[in-house]
Amino acid sequence: MSLRSEIFEQPTILEQLLTEQMGLAREIAQAIQKSDVHYVFLAARGTSDNAGRYANYLWGGINRLPIALATPSLFTLYEQPPNLRDALVVGISQSGQSPDIIAVLEEGKRQGCLTLAVTNATGSPLAKTADFVLDIRAGQELSVAATKTYTAELMAIAMLSVALDKNTNRHRELEQVPAWVTETLALEERISRIAERYRYMEQCVVLGRGYNYATAFEWSLKLKELTYVVADPYSSADFLHGPIAMVDQGFPVMAAVPDGRVFDNMLTLLKRLRLEHHAELLVISNREEAIQLAQSAVQLPVGIPEWLSPIVCIVPAQLFAYYLANTKGYDTEVPRSIHKITRTE
């Protein structure tokens, strides 16, 4: 098993997850509706925290559930947890081992809240603490850099969103995700060639907005973990409030720009970066305007709804980080200084 093979497992894992766990997602949705939940209080770290950013947009925008992203240190180091009345308390963790995430769910239960664990480890302390466990069923992930567990977490979040919604069209859209991921993985050779262009890159920014705000953070994290590049993630809106000043000729800018509500806004920024700042643009998109603007581009399948695009959009970013690490001569299986399971308190 290798990082590359785990990346390529993703279509199968996503299809199996949808087939095997959709019924459970509907049971959880019914429990949420019966509990008169007013908002979601969500705790996660690392890659799972980026999945939480996706939930923030998806559950907040489509399901109209306000999301509060937890500050776990209030529960552990400060021992001053907030009032969680009427909350669904959610912990997202591939390993289910982090004490601070577990502490958030324990406090949620103490305060009488409904609790949910989204995890790849159903026997973990996090899973044992929760009222409900949505098993992402990604199988054992040996690589330190999370890939298949991330997209499985996104799929689980999307499944719960669909289960909470009466719009049956969204389930049909969800069923197409594995095929879109398969189509994207077929671009491996092109992505490997693009990575060679960035062999000497030491710093960059990664942009996304809306649903793909999560993609910007996860792409950035994979670059940091595997290639040791200083990769700063930004919303395109936040980027205009100061950070754009550091971009001059040849500065690398990575951008997730699939079709959707934020596309025009993102395209305007990319035009400014290319034409005024002469930035080096690497774009992941399914819109020709963005692809033509970039020096390097990866073309996503057409027709992906914006709410599902983060599940597909991150896949070429994973491959890019993998091949860039290889190009730089780094070991993708054993990145320096980090471990598969990180226990924070």
Per-residue pLDDT of the chain (345 residues; tens, 9 = 90+): 699 999 999 999 999 999 999 999 999 999 999 998 999 999 999 999 999 999 999 999 999 999 999 999 999 999 999 999 999 999 999 999 999 999 999 999 999 999 999 999 999 999 999 999 999 999 998 888 899 999 999 999 999 999 999 877 899 999 999 999 999 999 999 999 999 999 999 999 999 999 999 999 999 999 999 999 999 999 999 988 989 999 999 999 999 999 999 999 999 999 999 999 999 999 999 999 999 999 999 999 999 999 999 999 999 999 999 999 999 999 888 776 555 455 565
From 1, 47, 12, 324, select the one nearest 185 (Cα to Cα): 12
Where do we find the tokens 């793909």?
A: 212
The C-alpha atoms of residue 168 and residue 20 are separated, in whole angstroms, by: 18
The C-alpha atoms of residue 344 and residue 75 are separated, in whole angstroms, by: 12
CATH superfamily of 3-175: Glucose-6-phosphate isomerase like protein; domain 1 (3.40.50.10490)
From 147, 153, 195, select the one nearest 9 (Cα to Cα): 147
The per-residue DSSP string of 193-248 comes to: HHHHHTTT--EEEEEE-GGGHHHHHHHHHHHHHHH--EEEEEEHHHHHTTGGGG--
The C-alpha atoms of residue 136 and residue 153 are separated, in whole angstroms, by: 6
Contacts 24+ apart (CB under 8 A), 334-341: 334/144, 335/144, 335/145, 335/225, 335/226, 336/228, 338/144, 338/225, 339/144, 340/95, 340/141, 340/142, 340/143, 340/144, 341/95, 341/97
Which pLDDT belongs to residue 343? 59
The neighbouring-strand residues paired with 43 are 91
Q: Where are the domains of the chain?
A: 3-175, 185-327
Tokens at 174, concatenated: 């969800």
The C-alpha atoms of residue 66 and residue 90 are separated, in whole angstroms, by: 13
Tokens at 123, concatenated: 């026997």
C-alpha 130 chain-centroid distance: 22
136 touches 149 (CB < 8 A):
yes
From 86, 85, 84, 118, select the one nearest 101 (Cα to Cα): 118
What's the length of the chain? 345
The C-alpha atoms of residue 238 and residue 206 are separated, in whole angstroms, by: 12
The C-alpha atoms of residue 321 and residue 325 are separated, in whole angstroms, by: 6
Which pLDDT belongs to residue 340? 45
The C-alpha atoms of residue 127 and residue 130 are separated, in whole angstroms, by: 5
Contacts of 52 (CB under 8 A, 6+ apart): 42, 43, 44, 67, 69, 92
Burial of 327 (0-12, 13-18, 19+ CB in 10 A): middle
SS3 content of the chain, % helix, strand, coil (to 5): 50, 15, 35
C-alpha 297 chain-centroid distance: 20
Tens of pLDDT along 35-57?
989 999 999 999 999 999 999 99
Question: Helix, strand, or coil here: 116?
Answer: strand
From 214, 266, 260, 232, select the one nearest 57 (Cα to Cα): 214
Contacts of 246 (CB under 8 A, 6+ apart): 205
Tokens at 243, concatenated: 């950070």
185-327 topology per CATH: Rossmann fold (3.40.50)
The per-residue DSSP string of 23-59 comes to: HHHHHHHHHHHHTT--EEEEEE-HHHHHHHHHHHHHH
